[in-house]
Chain A
Amino acid sequence: MSGADLRDLYQQVIMDHNKKPRNFRDMADANHLAHGNNPLCGDTLVVYVKLNGDVIEDVSFQGSGCAISVASASLMTEALKGKTIAEADAIYQQMHEQMTGGEVDMATLGKLEVLGGVREFPARVKCATLSWHTMHSAMESDADGQVTTE
């Protein structure tokens, strides 16, 4: 039995985003934010979003975690910046499909495709999805990070 290739998981793009995460900063004028944490592994992060109308004008994050979790958050901020809420939702759905083994639309996923290798490592899927769930919570919260549920 041979395992999934580590190079599928730790692709160059992922290693690069882990070493130099993009949009890794605080955001003073964020109007949405949320805290995410995975109590099992101790990963914690904050996702900041600045919405202008229905456009994501800026998105950033801070925190600590494994390479998969940091790279996924970094790639997420790149993918979502400048997108409308509807477009961001579509990307979020596609990420979900990719992680759960569903049909994916490569055009919507774009660069996020590099995270597809995580699927072969079930114990690590949560590392890749933490930032996305946190982003989702941020969109439903206000600037104090209070998640609003209707």
Chain B
Amino acid sequence: MSDLDIQAIRKDFPILDQEIYGFPLAYLDNAATSQKPVQVIDAVADYYREDNANVHRGVHRLSQRATDAYEGARSKVRDFVSAQSDKEIVFVRGATEAINLVAHSFVRPMLHAGDEILISHMEHHANIVPWQMLCDQVGAKLVVIPMTEKGELDLTTFDDLLTSKTKIMAVGQVSNALGTINPVKMMTEKAHAKGIPVLIDGAQAVPHMPADVQDLDCDFYVFSGHKMFAPTGIGALYGKQAILEEMVPWQGGGDMILSVSFEKTLYNELPYKFEAGTPNISGAIGLGAAIDYMQSVGIAELAAYEHELLMYATAQVGGLEGLRIIGTSDQKASVLSFMIDGVHPHDVGTIFDQQGVAIRTGHHCAQPVMQFFGIPATARASFAFYNTMDEVDALVGAIQKVQELFA
């Protein structure tokens, strides 16, 4: 068993200590959003209590402190994803905004009719729709890497999908609907061998495993803070410096300029060129605090413990009659999606809630995955390192309650 002291960790997450309808809350909806430790909540509150000011502007003391905290958070993100320079870290609202930024500023200027954008069948809508919009605008084609019944990418034709027309490959590292961990490093190598740039959507990966953009060698890496114990409304885009330098700005406004006249505006240097307007300062500070927290627990340790949890849950839930697990890859993180025979996932969600078990039911913003399996929705339990084996047992009990009620 794991060396983590889960009960001590749980004390850092005050929200977990509550009852729902008389049952202890079992929060198993971490793939939707994670809970926040007091260290993150306090960092945000302390910023507003003691340091709040605008950044990169004032000469006064508070502005200096706010700027130091904001830029300090950027350095933490750089270290967290193993980037080479702070210039490669752009603060954004989340993974969605980061993908839209890359679509607009990197791909669009070089995309022409007949070109291709390569994604996969198991992407979140955030890694489908921005590319589809772009394709529609210029008459380019969205090409999709297929998947298998186990919920893994089917890479048998992968080499043929990487063509001279492919302008970018954008794939998720971990599927939010299935939990599958995709072989993105190998895929990136193959794409690069044909000169194709690569974006990796790490939104579902960063809460569960170490992120290393140099090891992956991807050109872009995106993630959201709120899925990794930080506040909502903050996330980061990593981009290789040489590529970011060449890209046009995304939004215009204050902070992204060096000088403005009605004749000509000089853009600011990296990464500020992509951060127009007053940024989400407290969010960035919260993200920095979340990184500190994860590193204090140990990312390898939390990953190992979550693996134990997922294995236990898969064995317990998988052992039940009248139930089908959706997504059965050997390489998975955090997610257990399932269907109970004869019961719609929404009924499952309501009955679970009555037992204090919080899960997500629905299409998980991955409708093509649902279409692949011929189902409208799934029930999805997703784990974080503060979850316990007891909560897995509560999940199993809730499933049995559903089956009883619908017998």
Measured CB to CB, the residues of A under 8 A from B are: 1-3, 6, 9-10, 15, 40-44, 64-69, 121, 123-124, 127
Q: 11 A-B residue contacts at CB 8 Å?
A: A1-B22, A2-B22, A6-B350, A6-B351, A10-B405, A40-B362, A41-B377, A42-B363, A42-B367, A65-B344, A66-B344
A-B pairs under 8 A by CB, number? 55
Q: Quick one: which of B329-348 are within 8 Å of A by CB?
A: 343-347
**Could you say which residues of chain B place their CB within 8 Å of the CB of A9?**
350
**Could you say which residues of chain B place their CB within 8 Å of the CB of A67?**
343-344, 347, 406
B251 within 8 A of A: no
Report the separation of the CA atoms of residues A2 and B376 in the bound assembly, to the nearest whole angstrom: 31
**Could you say which residues of chain A place their CB within 8 Å of the CB of B362?**
40-42
Report the separation of the CA atoms of residues A41 and B346 in the bound assembly, to the nearest whole angstrom: 8
**Could you say which residues of chain A place their CB within 8 Å of the CB of B376?**
41-44, 64-65
Task: Please judge, given known A-B contacts A2-B21, A42-B362, A42-B370, whether A123 and B406 are in contact too, CB under 8 Å.
Answer: no
Chain B contact residues: helix, strand, loop or mixed: mixed
**Among the interface residues A10, A15, A121, which one has the most CB atoms of the partner chain B within 10 A?**
A10
Across the interface, do B377 and A3 meet the contact criterion of CB distance under 8 Å? Answer: no
Task: Please judge, given known A-B contacts A6-B405, A10-B405, A65-B344, whether A42 and B350 are in contact too, CB under 8 Å.
Answer: no
**Could you say which residues of chain A place their CB within 8 Å of the CB of B353?**
3
Instruction: Indicate which residue in A1, A2, A10, A42 contacts B377 across the interface (CB closer than 8 Å).
Output: A42
Whole-angstrom distance between the Cβ of A27 and the nearest chain B Cβ: 23
**Could you say which residues of chain A place their CB within 8 Å of the CB of B344?**
64-67, 69
Instruction: Indicate which residue in B19, B347, B363 contacts A68 across the interface (CB closer than 8 Å).
Output: B347
B137 within 8 A of A: no
B85 within 8 A of A: no
**Could you say which residues of chain B place their CB within 8 Å of the CB of A42?**
362-363, 367, 370, 376-377
B295 within 8 A of A: no
Whole-angstrom distance between the Cβ of B125 and the nearest chain A Cβ: 12
**Could you say which residues of chain A place their CB within 8 Å of the CB of B148?**
none
B354 within 8 A of A: yes
- 7 closest A-B pairs by beta carbon, nearest first, are A3-B21, A42-B376, A66-B344, A66-B346, A67-B347, A66-B347, A42-B377
Instruction: Indicate which residue in B354, B361, B367 contacts A3 across the interface (CB closer than 8 Å).
Output: B354
Closest to A124 in B: B350
Across the interface, do B370 and A1 meet the contact criterion of CB distance under 8 Å? Answer: no
Q: Quick one: which of B277-315 are within 8 Å of A by CB?
A: none
Report the separation of the CA atoms of residues A43 and B19 in the bound assembly, to the nearest whole angstrom: 31
**Could you say which residues of chain B place their CB within 8 Å of the CB of A66?**
344-347
Report the separation of the CA atoms of residues A92 and B22 in the bound assembly, to the nearest whole angstrom: 36
Closest to B23 in A: A3
Whole-angstrom distance between the Cβ of A143 and the nearest chain B Cβ: 27
Q: Quick one: which of B1-39 are within 8 Å of A by CB?
A: 19-22
**Could you say which residues of chain A place their CB within 8 Å of the CB of B21?**
1-3
Report the separation of the CA atoms of residues A3 and B401 in the bound assembly, to the nearest whole angstrom: 15
Instruction: Indicate which residue in A44, A69, A121 contacts B350 across the interface (CB closer than 8 Å).
Output: A121
Report the separation of the CA atoms of residues A44 and B376 in the bound assembly, to the nearest whole angstrom: 9
Across the interface, do B350 and A123 meet the contact criterion of CB distance under 8 Å? Answer: yes
Report the separation of the CA atoms of residues A121 and B351 in the bound assembly, to the nearest whole angstrom: 11
Whole-angstrom distance between the Cβ of B339 and the nearest chain A Cβ: 13
Whole-angstrom distance between the Cβ of A68 and the nearest chain B Cβ: 7
Across the interface, do B350 and A1 meet the contact criterion of CB distance under 8 Å? Answer: no
Task: Please judge, given known A-B contacts A2-B21, A43-B376, whether A124 and B405 are in contact too, CB under 8 Å.
Answer: no
Report the separation of the CA atoms of residues A67 and B402 in the bound assembly, to the nearest whole angstrom: 12
Across the interface, do A124 and B346 meet the contact criterion of CB distance under 8 Å? Answer: yes
